Structure 1
């Protein structure tokens, strides 16, 4: 199972980040939540501080590229195997930074990847 950090997590069930958490749970992948506002999603706490979690396999982004620079160093410090840029989060600058650190950037949709068995 791939421990996943959702950046841009939301307690709103209509948001894609919430739906991703739901689908990750359905497929048995543990997840961590980082958002701009405190709250809960599926009974899990949404953290607002950049926690130094260990064993994060995947980071999936649900934040606008204009907000991503605040997270560059943090995400790289987690040493994930990959970072998924969901639609609307694509960022060539961050992608190149990840490649330089041997972290795989993926432009895709977490929901689709899980549904078709490519997660």
Structure 2
């Protein structure tokens, strides 16, 4: 295991990119935890429906549109991740400015591409 990743916006739906990302993270032997609106399990990862006080989060990867992210700003910042990935469609200048103020790195990228190109 390398970096612990929190997937926010996790889904049981196999057509969702968050689901594909969890599967791919596990394929690349990345420790993964997940938060979503519905309980379930993806690739052996339980989807939590409550905001858990996870420890040692390296990366938060977002699968929520900017409007839905607002209610999670404080939670994500409280985890003190090393970085936040804004996947396509989740770009959010307001939240990015907050992260910058807190000294948390962020990037607008695709978790799937980062993994497949060994840049994760």
Q: TM-score, normalised by structure 1?
A: 0.97
Determine if contact 2:26/2:43 at 8 Å carries over to the other structure. Answer: no
| Matched residues, number | 119
Question: Partner of 1:49 in structure 2?
Answer: 50
CA deviations over 1:20-56 (Å, ceiling 9, x no partner):
0111111110100100111221232111111000000
Q: Which runs of 5+ in 2 are unaligned?
A: none
| Structure 1 stretches of 4+ moved >2 Å | none
Q: Which runs of 5+ in 1 are unaligned?
A: none
Q: Let me know the Cα RMSD of the aligned residues.
A: 0.7
Question: Partner of 1:20 in structure 2?
Answer: 21
CA deviations over 1:45-99 (Å, ceiling 9, x no partner):
1111110000000000001111101100000000000000000000000000001
Structure 1 window deviating more from structure 2 (37-46 vs 49-58): it is 37-46
Q: TM-score, normalised by structure 2?
A: 0.97
